[in-house]
């Protein structure tokens, strides 16, 4: 990656005029809406159609993210060996086929919880490869100075989809039933694959290392992340947040259906209201990072919004529904501000030839806690009840900001260049 802007997209005109970034962005937009539909529809398939237990719903959540433990590290080394664009296309098409099997099986009256586990696992494996390639592909399309803007636009899309998607998902579940609502996500992945295929820029073929040894390449990624005093703290913060966030997610839909007695449409509307926070976070993340500094935005984003999670377990089917909406609103806002800052920080800090392995190592460390969190949430709900499980998850999440609060990030304002010492302090 160079600091010079691509010829067809002068930096002064902004990424909106960057042809290939715009295509990536358009493809991502509908795909993200479809993903949000499935995030609501899949657990509702388990709860309403298959009458799954709380532990089975937790296991389904675990299957969705287990791939980050199973193939997370080799995926990064592999993505550093190949061009990323074909990985994105195949990942989209594979997920479309896997999710499309759910409404087909429902139509044939053959849908089982075992198939749901398999679909979640297959989709998760393809998502690992897609996400590692995706985060490594953006620095190939835009200049270093445009990374925050690019990540901010992609996060804005994701946040907007979180506002639209759950309400749309709730409507589709009520109108079509949950299995057929999943079809919307399958179609969205085909849409995304078409737009990525239309990108004209071609990456140069990665130069193979003198001796291609997968274990050695994985080790280089691990050593870079774990040996870096900032990256390992970011991994600890995000991993802890994801552990307890996954425990919460495994329980929340079941809690809203069986304890709060909300309809699918009501759950979707609640999630959409909460997700407005993510949209506002995406729209202000660039301003926030410039105002306080990119490094400070990481720990402030984690610290300021975590306490709102303590409101969620107090939700009831009355005026206290507002507690769930407030929690979702501020959790979404804080997550987006934190993620835009830390992902851009990582991309700018990492040498180009290690981007795939760095991203894969980070995903392994921070997403690898999510299947454990899903199982934890299912077990807590079975052992202590749904509301108590939410309380434990909410209290545990308060530990996450401590990783970055007590780290070298507090002595930095902005990101150091890759060749600078990782402990360098950037003056105000």
Non-local (6+) Cβ contacts of 395 within 8 A are 310
pLDDT band at 428 (very low <50, low <70, confident <90, very high): very low
Non-local (6+) Cβ contacts of 196 within 8 A are 23, 24, 27, 85, 88, 89, 92
Residue 304: the pLDDT is 87
Identify the three-state secondary structure at position 142.
coil
Which of 2, 41, 45, 65 has its CA nearest to residue 376? Answer: 65
What whole-number distance in Å separates Cα of residue 129 and Cα of residue 75?
6
Residue 30: the pLDDT is 78
pLDDT band at 208 (very low <50, low <70, confident <90, very high): low
Least confident of 101-110, 210-219, 277-286, 300-309: 210-219
Non-local (6+) Cβ contacts of 48 within 8 A are 173, 178, 257, 264
Least confident of 93-102, 245-254, 357-366, 386-395: 357-366
Residue 129 lies in a domain: yes
Residue range of the domain that includes 105:
16-200+213-411
Residue 417: the pLDDT is 55
pTM of the model: 0.73
pLDDT per position as a tens digit, 137-186 = 777 777 777 777 777 777 777 767 777 877 888 888 888 888 888 888 89
CATH number of the domain bearing residue 168: 1.20.1250.20
What's the chain's average pLDDT? 82
Cβ 255 vs Cβ 307: under 8 Å = no
Residue 6 lies in a domain: no
What whole-number distance in Å separates Cα of residue 188 and Cα of residue 191?
5
Residue 427 lies in a domain: no
Residue 383 lies in a domain: yes
Residue 3 lies in a domain: no
Residue 206: the pLDDT is 67
pLDDT per position as a tens digit, 357-399 = 787 788 788 888 989 999 999 999 999 999 999 999 999 999 9
Q: Over range 398-405, report the average pLDDT.
A: 92
Residue 211: the pLDDT is 60
Residue 292: the pLDDT is 84
Sign of CA dihedral 228, 340, 154, 143: negative
Residue 5 lies in a domain: no
């Amino acid at each position: 990656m160079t600091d010079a802007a691509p010829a067809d997209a002068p930096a002064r005109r902004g990424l909106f005029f960057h042809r290939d970034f715009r295509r990536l962005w358009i493809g991502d937009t509908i795909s993200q809406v479809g993903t949000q539909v499935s995030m609501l529809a899949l657990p509702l398939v388990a709860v309403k159609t298959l009458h799954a237990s709380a532990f089975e719903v937790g296991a389904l959540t675990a299957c969705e993210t287990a791939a980050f433990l199973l193939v997370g590290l080799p995926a990064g080394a592999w993505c550093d060996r190949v061009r990323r664009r074909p990985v994105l296309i195949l990942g989209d098409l594979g997920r479309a086929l896997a999710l499309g099997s759910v409404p087909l099986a429902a139509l044939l009256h053959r849908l089982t919880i075992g198939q749901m586990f398999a679909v979640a696992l297959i989709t998760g494996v393809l998502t690992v490869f897609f996400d590692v390639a995706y985060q490594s592909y953006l620095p190939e399309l835009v200049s270093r100075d445009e990374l925050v803007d690019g990540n901010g636009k992609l996060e804005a899309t994701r946040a907007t989809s979180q506002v639209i998607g759950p309400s749309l998902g709730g409507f589709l579940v009520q109108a079509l039933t949950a299995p057929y609502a999943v079809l919307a996500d399958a179609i969205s992945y085909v849409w995304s694959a078409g737009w990525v295929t239309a990108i004209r820029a071609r990456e140069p073929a990665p130069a193979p290392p003198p001796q291609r040894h997968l274990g050695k390449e994985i080790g280089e990624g691990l050593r870079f992340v774990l040996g870096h005093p900032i990256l390992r703290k970011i991994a600890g913060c995000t991993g802890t947040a994801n552990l307890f966030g996954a425990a919460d997610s495994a329980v929340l839909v079941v809690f809203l259906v069986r304890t709060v007695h909300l309809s699918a449409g009501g759950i979707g509307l609640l999630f959409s209201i909460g997700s407005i926070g993510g949209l506002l976070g995406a729209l202000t993340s660039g301003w926030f990072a410039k105002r306080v500094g990119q490094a400070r935005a990481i720990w402030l984003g984690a610290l300021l919004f975590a306490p709102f999670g303590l409101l969620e377990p107090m939700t009831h089917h009355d005026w206290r529904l507002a507690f769930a909406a407030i929690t979702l609103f501020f959790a979404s806002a804080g997550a987006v501000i934190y993620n835009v800052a830390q992902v851009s920080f990582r991309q700018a800090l990492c040498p180009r030839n290690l981007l795939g392995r760095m991203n894969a190592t980070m995903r392994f460390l921070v997403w690898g806690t999510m299947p454990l969190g899903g199982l934890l949430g299912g077990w807590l709900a079975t052992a202590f009840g749904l509301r108590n499980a939410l309380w434990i998850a909410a209290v545990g999440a308060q530990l996450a900001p401590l990783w970055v609060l007590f780290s070298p990030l507090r002595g930095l304002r902005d990101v150091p260049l890759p060749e600078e010492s990782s402990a360098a302090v950037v003056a105000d």
